Amino acid sequence: MMMTERGMAAPAAGGSVLARFDTILTAVVPELARRVKAVAFDAETGHLDVAPDLPAAGTQLRWSAPKLIAAANEKVAGANVRALRVAYVG
């Protein structure tokens, strides 16, 4: 309740960003659907960590980052995603 009174919605927004990432990714870069997973979102810094299955998918993610960030912020109220960090799962 105290967070709501102070206008803080970051934890819920962060969870929503992770939960809705597949839908957001499919809308923006459909060819990467099922090739990338959102692994973490830091609501304080606005960093969204994603893990592609191949380096080529990571390159495409970097090219599409501005669109993905804009779509995440549009679809998830209060998300405030500021950066996309690509890390490979090995």
Tell me phi and psi for residue 60, to 5 degrees: -65, -35
What is the spatial distance between Cα 33 and Cα 12, in angstroms, rounded to a whole number? Answer: 24
Mean pLDDT of 51-62: 94
In a domain, 18, yes or no: no
* Domain CATH number, residue 79: 3.30.300
Mean pLDDT of 9-21: 72
Mean pLDDT of 34-45: 94
Report percent pLDDT > 70 for the chain.
Answer: 82
First-to-last alpha carbon distance for the chain, in angstroms, is: 41
Task: Give the pLDDT confidence score for residue 88 in this predicted structure.
Answer: 76
**Residue 16 CB coordination number (10 Å):** 18
Q: Identify the domain containing residue 62 by its residue range.
A: 32-90
Mean pLDDT of 9-37: 85
What is the spatial distance between Cα 69 and Cα 18, in angstroms, rounded to a whole number? Answer: 13
Task: Give the pLDDT confidence score for residue 13 in this predicted structure.
Answer: 54
Mean pLDDT of 34-43: 94
Total domains in the chain come to 1
